[in-house]
Chains A and B, each alone.
Chain A
Amino acid sequence: MKRRDFLASGLAAGSLGGFVAPSGVRGDEASGAAAPLPATVPEGVVDTNTSLGAWPFRRLPLEEAGALEAKLGSLGVVEAWASSFEGLLHRDLRGVNERLAEACATRGGADAGASRIGPAFVPVGVINPLDPAWEGDFARCLQAHGMRAVRLYPAWHGYGLDAPAFAAFLDAASASGALVQVSVLLEDVRTQHPVARVGEVDLSPLPDLLEARSQARVQLLNARLRGELLDRLAAVPSLLFDTARTESTGGVRDLAAAVGAERVLFGSHAPFLIPEAALVRVGEAAFEAGVERAVLGGNARGLPPRSTPAA
């Protein structure tokens, strides 16, 4: 069969008769108006991995908090766990977390008529266990800001999970009941800015650390796991995962099969990554409806963080 035959039927069917688009019309779903919640998740989606603030190396389309709020709201996200990109490079993490808490407090939620405007932004403070003042930062996150989760960026802050400081922090987090989000990688190493090459966090020490700390609750963000490491991490029953960089058409499904769907929490890494990508990836997994609903929100709802008023 010749090339023309293969093309002929497709090109004939590919005429523009079936599609009419007004010129210049933005096809963006984020109109800013309240959008219906997805039929598959009637109580709304919980995105456990978002960030506020400026990404240091590129102006992101959803970098402005209002734009991110509108986009997430249009996708049916009712709760967004948000940390701060400022926490990557700023050394005054107290200031970072104060601004984060304030920014989250002024955004999202429902209006008096209970029509949804945008997600509730739940602040997830940044902690650096190598900082001499980390304990004060942690205490303020929990007590002053009512945070029930914090986020760590080990590769950006210059330590490995085998560092004694990380173990000490895990002890404190365990005692407090706070969820610890560990950001494994923010950007593919192949595309990073050449003056800021930040590698992937070595997770191999984590299973032993968590085995010795049964009360610790840790969620890995932006991980892309396979092989023996995935097997070891899957064997830690308290460890949670997200969906932000779980690639391949079967990636989310394979992760759920490896660790248990109840331990997979939807996370998009918006606004750095396009939030729709992670959502569709869950749909690609072809889960049974109840499982999809759990991954998109149910698994997260029973966990912190939920903001509580400051003491």
Chain B
Amino acid sequence: MNEPADMDASRPPDLSRPPARAVPGLPPWERLRDYEIWDSYFTPSHSHPGADGFSRVLADLDATRHAVEIGCLQKLCYFPHVGLGTTRDEALETLLRTEPERVLRPFEHWPERLLGMVQVNPHRLRDSLEALDRWLRDGPMVGAYFSGGGPGALVCTHPDVSRLYERVLELGGVVMQHTWQKTGGKGGPNESTPAELASVAPRFAGSVLVCAHAGGEWEAGIRAVAAHENLWIETSGFDATAGFIEMAVRELGAGRILFGSHLPSRSLGTELCKVTAAEITEEEKHAILGANFRSLLGTVG
């Protein structure tokens, strides 16, 4: 059995056996295993990986392992910085460009568990396009992440963002666009809302764009994207407010929803239970928790 007080702090998650103690509130571990959960929004050290390019990510992986094990999260997709100016640490940015192998250290720490979507910077379009060739066309990444804040954020209606969407989709990658619909207005001009993403969606008909966090204020977010079949939503990033998944399934269908954990800055309890505790069918849970993401990646690969 996996003991909570595991002395081997750096080992990868062990999903071969249930936890030592059942966790009240979660479905039986065997059911979690059978859901084949793939996490589309994992955020270890999301804003800064550490001065060496990876140490804080590794620390967050270790801190998250228990949650990954009790939730039986089989694969987790996170958003590596790759030296495009997506942090404000110039020394780090230089290091990631000149020693790109550092970007891959987390993948070595958790072999066969991690997927990655590079954090792009639309303010540096040419560099970002080159990075997509390096990391997506020729490398292990499965898509690109478009931030809602920080130096790499640009509102999704900007032409340079569309240019990057086009390239990601040409290469068969996943577009993960951060969105929030905040009461009282945006946090900044470069933040994107679901309605703004919906306004550009028709240009990419036939390809999927993922609306991360369902806009946060999910009632408005779901309704903003509902009419656009190529807009999917991701589930993480806000409190475990009851009714979210039920409305999303009703409006979008379970096939357009991706589970995200937002670990470790958010809790497994909040993010996983949004889906496992929802009043939907087991088939719908299976789709949201992993099958949809695998399908999206499969059409990509």
Interfacial residues, chain A to chain B (CB-CB below 8 A)? 1-7, 9-11, 13-14, 16, 18-19, 21-29, 38-41, 45, 58-62, 75-76, 187-194, 197, 245-251, 270-284, 286-289, 292, 296
Contact = CB atoms under 8 A, between A and B. Distances in A.
A280 B269 contact: yes
B4 interface: yes
Contacts of B290: 14
Residue picked from A59, A281, A292, most chain B C-beta under 10 Å:
A281
A40 B270 CA distance: 20
B38 interface: yes
A62 B242 contact: yes
Interface of B: 4-5, 21-27, 33-36, 38, 63-64, 66-67, 70, 74-75, 107, 112, 115, 136, 138-142, 180, 182-184, 216-219, 238-243, 246, 263-270, 272-274, 276-277, 279-283, 285-286, 290-291, 294, 297-298, 301
A19 B242 contact: no
B36 A284 contact: no
B245 to A, nearest CB: 9
B269 A40 contact: no
B269 A7 contact: no
Contacts of B268: 249, 280-281, 284
A272 to B, nearest CB: 6
10 contacts: A6-B115, A38-B22, A60-B243, A190-B216, A193-B183, A247-B267, A249-B263, A283-B70, A284-B23, A287-B4
A6 B142 contact: yes
B169 to A, nearest CB: 14
B94 to A, nearest CB: 24
A6 B246 CA distance: 32
A292 B112 CA distance: 32
Contacts of A286: 4-5, 66
Contact of A190 (B64, B180, B291): B180
B183 A23 contact: no
Contact of A40 (B21, B63, B243, B273): B21
Given A274-B274, A286-B5, A61 B25 contact: no
Residue picked from B70, B183, B268, most chain A C-beta under 10 Å:
B183
A197 B219 contact: no
Contacts of B219: 58
Contacts of B238: 188, 190-191
A6 B25 contact: no
Contacts of B23: 279-280, 283-284
A249 B279 contact: no
- The 8 A-B pairs of least Cβ separation, nearest first, read A279-B25, A280-B269, A283-B23, A281-B269, A277-B240, A286-B4, A21-B282, A276-B25
Given A3-B142, A10-B74, A27-B27, A273 B239 contact: yes
B294 A14 contact: yes
